Amino acid sequence: MKKLMSNLSIDNVIFGFDTELKVLLVKHAEGISKGKWALPGGWAHSDESLDDAATRLLFELTGLNDLFLEQLKAFGDLHRFPDQRVVTIGYYSMIRTNEVKLLAGFTASDVKWVSLKSIQKLPYDHNEILDFGLATLRNKVKQEPIGLNLLPEQFSLYDLQQIYEAILQIQLDKPNFRRKILKMGFLKKSTIKQTKVSHRAAQLFEFDQEEYMKYKTQKFLLDFKT
């Protein structure tokens, strides 16, 4: 039997990437914010851990269940939620935009990807949560490899570079970026090459899962200026 924790909710910041960095928003189908676009979230249950609650809610809203959600922090300003005292725990993750199946019927009536550049005022403190998520992502990108969950199996180095550029909001030098990333050794050459592109076909790469995970746990410092 699922008992809601009436003063504790979860909000997920789900990043995606196609040509630019996007975030997943849902349109509330019920509750006091009915009709408004907001971060996908909901109430925590008393019979599940916070991590499980975040995973459950993400699944209910997007159909995804093999994602690694990482906690951002608790947001506990006194008046962040109207009428009631509610503390929310923020989580974030990254997924390929085309993996999200839009689900109707649950507490969300609609789901969409929104470019970070065109985000307007969100209800509650969702802008603050989103900003914190973005700051965390920017920090993350410098400490572990990123892209495994954002890119298809096969991708070019430029695809990866564009993710770094979108997240960090800077221009990177192509030759230097290539060398830096390849030297880390978590990419391996794919056997296939690009086709039907109106420029020289790029060597495609895949993530070397084992090396990728090694880097993810070991941590490193990756500093980018250009």
Partner DNA sequence: TCAAAAGTGTTATGATTACACCCATGA
Partner DNA sequence: TCATGGGTGTAATCATAACACTTTTGA
- The residues in 98-157 that bind its own copies, with binding defined as CB under 8 A, are 142
Residue 133, classified by CB atoms within 10 Å of its CB into exposed (0-12), middle (13-18) or buried (19+), is: buried
Instruction: Annotate each residue in 205-224 with x if it binds its own copies (CB under 8 A) or - if it does not, as one string.
Output: ----------------x-x-
Total binding residues for its own copies by CB under 8 A? 25
Determine the 3-state secondary structure of 172 from DSSP: coil
Q: Which of 20, 27, 33, 51 binds its own copies (CB under 8 A)?
A: 51
Using the rule CB under 8 A, is 168 a contact of its own copies?
Answer: no
Upper half-sphere CA count for residue 206 (Cβ side, 13 Å): 10
Q: 């009631």: which residue's tokens?
A: 84
The nearer residue to DNA, 74 or 170, going by C-beta atoms, is: 170
| Under rule CB under 8 A, residue 48 binds its own copies | yes
Nearer to its own copies, 27 or 140 (CB): 140
Binds its own copies (CB under 8 A): choice among 31, 35, 63, 76: 76
* Strand bridging mode 4-17 / 87-94: parallel
Nearer to its own copies, 5 or 213 (CB): 5
**Among 26, 32, 28, which residue's Cα sits nearest to residue 13?**
26
35/76 with CB nearer its own copies: 76
- What the block records as the tokens of 217 is 């746990």
Could you say whether residue 46 binds its own copies (CB under 8 A)? yes
Tell me the pairing of strands 4-17 and 41-45. Answer: antiparallel
